[in-house]
Amino acid sequence: MSEELIPETPEQETEENEAAEPIKQRKNGLYPGVSDELAENMKSGWADTELHDLAPIPQAEHTAARRAALSARFPGERLVIPAGNLKTRSNDTEYAFRASTEYAYLTGDQTQDGVLVLESTGEQGHQATIYLLPRSNRENGEFWLDGQGELWVGRRHSLTEAEQLLGIPAKDVRELAAALAEATGPVRCVRGHDASIEAALTDKVTAERDEELRVYLSEARLVKDAFEISELEKACDATARGFEDVVKSLDKAEATSERFIEGTFFLRARIEGNDIGYGSICAAGPHATTLHWVRNDGAVRPGELLLLDAGVETNDLYTADVTRTLPINGTFSPLQRKIYDAVYEAQEAGIAAVKPGAAFRDFHDASQRVLAEKLVEWGLLGDLTVEKVLELGLQRRWTLHGTGHMLGMDVHDCAVARTEAYVDGILEPGVCLTVEPGLYFQADDLTVPEEYRGIGVRIEDDILVTEDGNRNLSDKLPRRADEVEAWMARLKG
Ligand code: GLY
Ligand code: MN
Ligand code: MN
pLDDT computed for residue 5 by the predictor: 36
pLDDT computed for residue 405 by the predictor: 98
Q: Which of 243, 265, 278 to mutate to test the pocket of ligand 1 (most atoms within 8 A of CB)?
A: 278
Cα separations (Å) of 23 from 142, 143, 146, 443? 6, 10, 8, 61
Helix (H, G, I), strand (E, B) or coil at 275: strand
- Which residue, judged by its Cα, is nearest atom 4 of ligand 1? 321
pLDDT band at residue 23 under the 50/70/90 scheme: low
User: CA–CA separation, 372 vs 3, rounded Å?
Assistant: 63
pLDDT computed for residue 34 by the predictor: 87
- Residues in Cβ contact with 483 at an 8 Å cutoff, skipping those fewer than 6 apart: none
Q: In whole numbers, what is the pLDDT of the chain averaged over residues?
A: 94
Q: What is the CATH number of domain 226-492?
A: 3.90.230.10
Give the distance (Å) from ligand 1 centre to CA of residue 319: 11
Q: Does the pLDDT of residue 15 top 50, yes or no?
A: no
For the whole model, what pTM was predicted? 0.94
**443-459 mean pLDDT:** 98
Give the distance (Å) from ligand 3 centre to CA of residue 406: 8
Task: Determine whether the shortest distance from the Cβ of 461 to ligand 1 is under 6 A.
Answer: no
Q: pLDDT per residue over 216-266, tens digit each?
A: 999 999 999 999 999 999 999 999 999 999 999 999 999 999 999 999 999
pLDDT computed for residue 123 by the predictor: 80
pLDDT computed for residue 1 by the predictor: 38
pLDDT computed for residue 150 by the predictor: 95
Task: Determine whether the shortest distance from the Cβ of 436 to ligand 1 is under 6 A.
Answer: yes
pLDDT computed for residue 21 by the predictor: 52
Q: pLDDT per residue over 94-104, tens digit each?
A: 999 999 999 99
Q: pLDDT per residue over 331-380, tens digit each?
A: 999 999 999 999 999 999 999 999 999 999 999 999 999 999 999 999 99
Give the distance (Å) from ligand 1 centre to CA of residue 34: 52
Give the distance (Å) from ligand 2 centre to CA of residue 240: 13
Percent of the chain with pLDDT over 90: 89
Give the distance (Å) from ligand 1 centre to CA of residue 271: 22
Residue ranges per structural domain of the chain: 60-136+157-219, 226-492
Q: Which ligand is nearest to the CA of 291?
A: 1
Q: Which atom of ligand 1 is nearest to the CA of 323?
A: 4
pLDDT band at residue 29 under the 50/70/90 scheme: very low
Task: Determine whether the shortest distance from the Cβ of 272 to ligand 1 is under 6 A.
Answer: no
pLDDT computed for residue 147 by the predictor: 83
Q: Please name the residue ranges forming H helices in 167-225.
A: 176-182, 195-200, 207-219
User: CA–CA separation, 438 vs 26, rounded Å?
Assistant: 61
Q: Does the pLDDT of residue 25 top 80, yes or no?
A: no
- Which residue, judged by its Cα, is nearest atom 3 of ligand 1? 321
Q: CB-hemisphere CA count at 13 Å for 26?
A: 19
pLDDT band at residue 36 under the 50/70/90 scheme: confident
Give the distance (Å) from ligand 3 centre to CA of residue 330: 24
Ion ligand 3 neighbours (CB, 5 A) are 321, 434
Q: Which of 294, 308, 411 to mutate to test the pocket of ligand 1 (most atoms within 8 A of CB)?
A: 411
Task: Determine whether the shortest distance from the Cβ of 278 to ligand 1 is under 6 A.
Answer: yes
Q: Does the pLDDT of residue 4 top 60, yes or no?
A: no
pLDDT computed for residue 2 by the predictor: 38
Q: Which atom of ligand 1 is nearest to the CA of 309?
A: 1
User: CA–CA separation, 243 vs 282, rounded Å?
Assistant: 11
Give the distance (Å) from ligand 1 centre to CA of residue 56: 34
Task: Determine whether the shortest distance from the Cβ of 321 to ligand 1 is under 6 A.
Answer: yes
Give the distance (Å) from ligand 1 centre to CA of residue 414: 14
Q: pLDDT per residue over 411-435, tens digit each?
A: 999 999 999 999 999 999 999 999 9
Task: Determine whether the shortest distance from the Cβ of 413 to ligand 1 is under 6 A.
Answer: no
Give the distance (Å) from ligand 3 centre to CA of residue 456: 15
Q: Does the pLDDT of residue 13 top 70, yes or no?
A: no
Percent of the chain with pLDDT over 70: 94
Q: pLDDT per residue over 163-221, tens digit each?
A: 999 999 999 999 999 999 999 999 999 999 999 999 999 999 999 999 999 999 999 99
Q: Does the pLDDT of residue 8 top 50, yes or no?
A: no
Query: Nearest-5° angle of CA 72, CA 78, CA 82?
Result: 100
By 3-state DSSP, what share of the chain in percent is helix, strand and coil, each rounded to 5?
Answer: 40, 15, 45
Q: Which ligand is nearest to the CA of 307?
A: 2
Question: Hey, what CATH topology would domain 60-136+157-219 get?
Answer: Creatine Amidinohydrolase; Chain A, domain 1 (3.40.350)
Q: pLDDT per residue over 252-287, tens digit each?
A: 999 999 999 999 999 999 999 999 999 999 999 999
Q: pLDDT per residue over 458-486, tens digit each?
A: 999 999 999 999 999 999 999 999 999 99
Identify whether the C-beta of residue 322 lies closer than 8 Å to the C-beta of residue 312.
no
pLDDT computed for residue 31 by the predictor: 63
Identify whether the C-beta of residue 231 lies closer than 8 Å to the C-beta of residue 273.
no
